[in-house]
Structure 1
Amino acid sequence: MKQEFNAAYWQQRYQNNQTGWDTQGITTPLKAYFDQLTNKELRILIPGCGNAYEAEYLFKNGFKNVFVADVAPSPLENFADRVQDFPKEQLLLQNFFDLQGPYDLIVEQTFFCAISPDLRASYARKCAELLAPGGRVVGLLFDTEFTHEGPPFGGSADEYRKYFEPYFKLIHFEKAYNSIAPRQGRELFINLKKK
């Protein structure tokens, strides 16, 4: 029987502390990107946010229009406990595919690799729908195949281009040079601008 990666599945992973993807902080490539952003008014969405270290970093650096979404309540509760002044209405307990925009920036950090690969084309299309004109998807994608059954699910740059090129101009789509040690050489940094 095929595993369904639904809210109950992810909630159980958090409750059982099976969160091997959790880096306990913002990763280097995203921090470097965020540090060069100057418009603090950007509406930013972080789907499949997990413990949302990226949102914490942005919020503490003056970005107040950050929205985090997850299907499991535990990571949102963890985040709310950690960042107590974060607006509760910007914590979205929702399926990514049910979200409404518009946003200026979607941050991709281990969400794409967590959804079933048969949803990847739909993910790219939904990102485009959620973004305002000229909006961007920025983040990291695994550029590797995993030997275990996912999640995470691996893939390649060539595969991913097919999903994104219909909707986005690929501004940056290359191996990340500053990945954290466990992911070194296995990540693509992407900066995709909505067509």
Structure 2
Amino acid sequence: MFASNTLRSLPIPCCIASSPFPLSASLFNLSSSTTRVFRVKNLCKSSIQQLKMEGGAGGNKSEIQDKSSNNNSDLPNLNQAQQLINNDSTGGWDKCWEQALTPWDLGGPTPVILNLLQTGSLPKGRVLIPGCGIGHDVVAIACPERYVVGLDISENAILKARELFSSSQNANHYAFVKDDFFTWNPPSLFDLIFDYTFFCAIEPSKRPAWASRAHDLLKPDGELITLMFPIDDYVGGPPYKVSVADYEEVLHPMGFKAISVIDNELAVGPRKGREKLGRWKRYIAESHL
């Protein structure tokens, strides 16, 4: 039923490695003490010419994997983040950013997004990234052909994003907005919505509302890209476990059908084998009047 093609290999920027939430001790591999910022150049051309890290941070892919196995010291911080969020579903996210308890933050653009850019398979036009955090993906994909809105409920995250990227060379092609995805009313609809670690962060009871908002915010011919994580079997959250069926259950009633669902071969560290990339389009029944 689903496409089985695999993603083209793409070198992963050296500082990308983490697991977003505390599912087991082996998943904790991102120190929250340092945020590394990428300068992303020429991402809207046919190939990605260069990714440079500001601040001179070094490393390589093997070092990322080494870090992922020496992460037990992060467990208390990750547990604190989960506790803050569960105690306050709105303000807890802001407290996490204020206290640098952000295990979901990769510290750079999502590798599969860079791959979609490199292969020219990322839609252009107006793009929405809900739960954007400090905006690495927002800045990475923004260009003259693609205006990107990064939306987050955390004021601290949005303030950090604006501070980090205010002088970026493509700053005219994106905006960071502090608002609630479920109540926000933008002036225009979007050609693309990209969701990663947002669907899994909301309570499962809100998933139908998430699908309804995706329907309302997209243009009729728009596309929804979901990087599904964590595909796992456990109790609790966030992140709450997800499956392809979970997405289908709420998206099908809204008229969405999957173009493709494939394993994410570019998942980093302990996320490997637990992510799928889904691409969805709305199908409107033709009138026979």
Q: TM-score, normalised by structure 1?
A: 0.88
Please name the residue that 2:271 is paired with.
183
In structure 1, what is the equivalent of residue 182 of structure 2? 97
Q: Deviations over 1:28-72 (max 9, x none)?
A: 1121123314765x000111111111111012x445511111111
- Which runs of structure 2 are paired with 1:87-166 in the superposition (5 Å)? 90-100=175-185, 101-145=188-232, 147=234, 149-166=236-253
- Whether the aligned pair in 2 keeps the contact of 1:5 and 1:116 (CA below 8 Å) is no
Is the 1:145–1:153 Cα contact (8 Å) retained in structure 2?
A: no
Alignment of 1:29-68 (within 5 A): 29-35=112-118, 36-37=120-121, 40=124, 42-59=125-142, 61-63=143-145, 65-68=147-150
Partner of 1:11: 94
Q: Return the alpha-carbon distance in structure 2 between the equivalents of residues 57 and 163 of structure 1.
A: 29
Contact 1:51–1:78 (8 Å) recurs in 2? yes
Spell out, residue by residue over 1:51-109, the C-alpha distance to the aligned partner (whole angstroms, 9 max, x if none): 111111012x4455111111111111111112114359932111001123410000112
Question: Structure 2 vs 1, CA of residues 194 and 26 (structure 1 numbering), >3 Å: closer, same or farther?
Answer: same
User: Once superposed, what is the RMSD of the aligned Cα atoms?
Assistant: 2.2
Q: How many aligned positions are there?
A: 191
Q: Structure 1 residues 89 and 46, CA, compared in 2 at 3 Å: closer, same or farther? A: closer
How has the CA–CA distance of structure 1 residues 63 and 51 changed in structure 2, closer, same or farther, with 3 Å as cutoff? farther
CA distance in 1, matches of 2:259, 2:275: 16
Q: Which has the larger radius of gyration?
A: 2
Percent identity reads 27
Gapped regions of structure 2 (runs ≥ 5): 1-85, 284-289
Corresponding residue for 1:81? 163
Matched residues in 2 for 1:90 and 1:31: separation? Answer: 19
Distance 1:63 1:94 in 2: 25
| Contact persistence 2:123–2:192 (CA under 8 A) | no
